[in-house]
Amino acid sequence: MGTLLSSFVLVKNASEKNSYKKQRPLVLLIIMLSVKAASSAHPSYLTVHDISTIVQSKKAHWQCSHPHHWRQDLFSSKTQRRQLRWMVLDEADVLMDESFAEPLEEILVRTQVVVVGATFPTGLSEMLRKFTDVGQFLTLGTQSLHRLPPHVQQKFVRLKGRDKLPELLHLLKEHPASGGAVLIFCNSASTVNWMGYILDDHKIKHLRLQGQMSAAARAGIFASFQKGDVSVLVCTDLASRGLDTSSVQLVVNYDFPDTLQDYLHRVGRVGRVGSKAPGAVVSFVTHRWDVDLVRKIETAARKRTGLPGLDASINKPPPKGG
């Protein structure tokens, strides 16, 4: 049983007068590859080059780029800038910041821009509005955008901070070997490292994944987890996006996420297409501000509505008859 992660797509209509029929159009795909770095030790792991090769077509040339390198890749050649017809921003809610404003102002004049993501927070539309007319965007979205997956069991455990570790150890020891892989989310790299030492002391085999590791190390760690060499991964929100986690059947929020957006991405690690079971999410609720988020989550689940504070569309359609 599985589900497609709800998502949205925004397509910005470019001006027809700027089309260049004689040139082979260029499509630039900017993707989050913080974990998916090139690694010769893991040839089956997708890299920027691999994706570029897969999506080549006779009608268009595709170029993939990392968020930190796209300006260099694109603006290194005037020919490339003239040929650029489509620009795709994946995981747009974490890509869009002030560094995109200046180059995008030039690109948007003659380029179709596609903005893709599983969550669309209010701040994203505000950022887009700074350098383009959001009224020119066409919104395509699933009906389940910003909604919790109904087939995934979600449990909230209210406890004191000192009781979190014993509860986690109990969960891991009770989790059957046949029960699928486990993701344990922490809010900082230091907590991931600390927990790793604790799990070592308790002879619980695990892997750690956090942003202070090198790209090559992260690629190797996740590849090992994905192959099933180790079934427990302690991680930060680095692992909450863009990764194939179909083997995961239990997510533990050791640290409750800071935002509803982060919670939705963590929940999306289970119950995915290809999973053998719907999976479950267990969240430790410790602080007063955690309780406030839990109430919003429970209300959205009970009413079967989207999580609050996340816009479902960039420009709402006008009311009928007016």
Model confidence over 42-68: pLDDT tens digits? 333 334 444 444 444 545 566 666 555
Q: What is the dihedral of CA 276, 33, 307, 297, to 10 degrees?
A: 60
Q: Is the pLDDT of residue 178 over 50?
A: yes
Pairwise pLDDT comparison (122 vs 184), residue with the higher score = 184
Q: Does residue 38 sit within a domain?
A: yes
Per-residue model confidence (pLDDT) at position 204: 96
CATH number at residue 38: 3.40.50
Average pLDDT (99-109) is 63
Nearest to 86 by CA among 121, 59, 124: 59
Same domain for 99 and 219? no
Q: Is the pLDDT of residue 167 over 60?
A: yes
Per-residue model confidence (pLDDT) at position 109: 63
* Distance in angstroms (rounded) separating the CA atoms of residues 94 and 87: 16
How far from the centroid of its chain's Cα atoms is residue 57's Cα? Answer: 26
Nearest to 225 by CA among 240, 204, 212, 244: 244
Min mean pLDDT across 44-58, 115-129, 138-152, 227-241 is at: 44-58
pLDDT band of 134, cuts 50, 70, 90: confident
Task: Count up the domains in the chain and report the number.
Answer: 2
Same domain for 101 and 177? no
Show which of 141, 163, 198 is a domain's final residue.
141
Dihedral angle sign, alpha carbons of residues 72, 77, 78, 82: negative
Pairwise pLDDT comparison (287 vs 145), residue with the higher score = 287
Per-residue model confidence (pLDDT) at position 123: 67
Q: Does residue 313 sit within a domain?
A: no
Q: Is the pLDDT of residue 320 over 50?
A: no
Per-residue model confidence (pLDDT) at position 312: 45
Min mean pLDDT across 23-37, 62-76, 170-184, 290-304 is at: 23-37
3-state DSSP assignment of residue 209: strand
* Distance in angstroms (rounded) separating the CA atoms of residues 274 and 292: 33
Q: Does residue 315 sit within a domain?
A: no
pLDDT band of 84, cuts 50, 70, 90: confident
- Residues spanned by the domain of 61: 8-141
Same domain for 219 and 244? yes
Q: Does residue 189 sit within a domain?
A: yes
Average pLDDT (107-119) is 70
Same domain for 125 and 177? no
Same domain for 190 and 117? no
Q: Does residue 308 sit within a domain?
A: no
Same domain for 132 and 255? no
Pairwise pLDDT comparison (127 vs 74), residue with the higher score = 127
| DSSP label of 24 | P
Pairwise pLDDT comparison (148 vs 197), residue with the higher score = 197
Same domain for 205 and 124? no
Same domain for 36 and 80? yes
pLDDT band of 122, cuts 50, 70, 90: low
Q: Does residue 3 sit within a domain?
A: no
Same domain for 112 and 163? no
Min mean pLDDT across 184-193, 194-203, 264-273 is at: 264-273
Per-residue model confidence (pLDDT) at position 101: 59
Q: Does residue 273 sit within a domain?
A: yes
CATH number at residue 232: 3.40.50.300
Q: Considering the chain, what is the average pLDDT of its residues?
A: 74
Same domain for 60 and 168? no
User: What is the end-to-end Cα distance of the chain in Å, rounded?
Assistant: 43
Same domain for 113 and 191? no
* Distance in angstroms (rounded) separating the CA atoms of residues 212 and 209: 9
* Distance in angstroms (rounded) separating the CA atoms of residues 248 and 253: 14
Q: Does residue 320 sit within a domain?
A: no
Show which of 141, 162, 186 is a domain's final residue.
141
Show which of 81, 107, 141 is a domain's final residue.
141
Per-residue model confidence (pLDDT) at position 42: 35
Min mean pLDDT across 127-131, 291-295, 309-313 is at: 309-313
* Distance in angstroms (rounded) separating the CA atoms of residues 250 and 271: 9
Strand order across the beta sheet in which 181-185 lies:
153-158, 280-285, 248-253, 181-185, 232-235, 207-209
Q: Which amino acid is at 58?
A: K
Same domain for 129 and 186? no
DSSP of 106-118, one letter per residue? HHTTT-EEEEEES
Per-residue model confidence (pLDDT) at position 276: 64
Structure token digits, residue 236? 């930060």
